[in-house]
Copies of this chain bind each other. A is one copy, B any other.
Amino acid sequence: MKNFIKLEKQEGARIELHDKLNLTGSEISINVLPANGAIPFIHSHKQNEEVYFIIKGSGKFIVDGEEIYLSEGDFIKIDPVGKRQIFASENGISYLCIQSKVNSLEGYTLEDAIVG
């Protein structure tokens, strides 16, 4: 068994990577909304925090009723209880959504690394 899985660039409105990459510490999805598109519901989470990374385009997030404008290269982290909605601008938007369980991370970077 190799210790890595490579996945080439994916095309589609929503690609979930959990099973493709055999993820065990996070779920990552690639999402594409067309111009003026939207996720048609409000949602929150039970125990996962989410980090969104804007790959291309721009859009508006509404979290607990507050409007936040995001464009290429921006991030937003949302706690589980935040009630969120996502809207593309007239340019459309592509983003990664990274879910992980709150308080599950222990050491990281230097504490967790073995060099050599």
Mark A residues whose CB is within 8 Å of B: 2-10, 16-18, 21-29, 41-49, 51, 53, 55, 61, 63-64, 66, 68, 70-79, 81-82, 84, 96, 98-109, 112-116
Q: How many copies does the complex hold?
A: 2
Task: A78 to B17: give the CA distance in the assembly, Å.
Answer: 14
Q: Are A3 and B63 interface neighbours, CB within 8 A?
A: yes
**B4, B22, B102, B116: which contacts A68 (Cβ < 8 A)?**
B4
Known: A26-B51, A44-B113, A49-B23. A3 touches B79 (CB 8 A): yes
**B47, B64, B75, B84: which contacts A112 (Cβ < 8 A)?**
B47
B residues in contact with A28, CB < 8 Å: 51, 53, 75, 98
Q: Are B45 and A23 interface neighbours, CB within 8 A?
A: no
Task: A115 to B84: give the CA distance in the assembly, Å.
Answer: 10
Task: A72 to B116: give the CA distance in the assembly, Å.
Answer: 28
Task: A26 to B107: give the CA distance in the assembly, Å.
Answer: 10
**B10, B100, B113: which contacts A26 (Cβ < 8 A)?**
B100
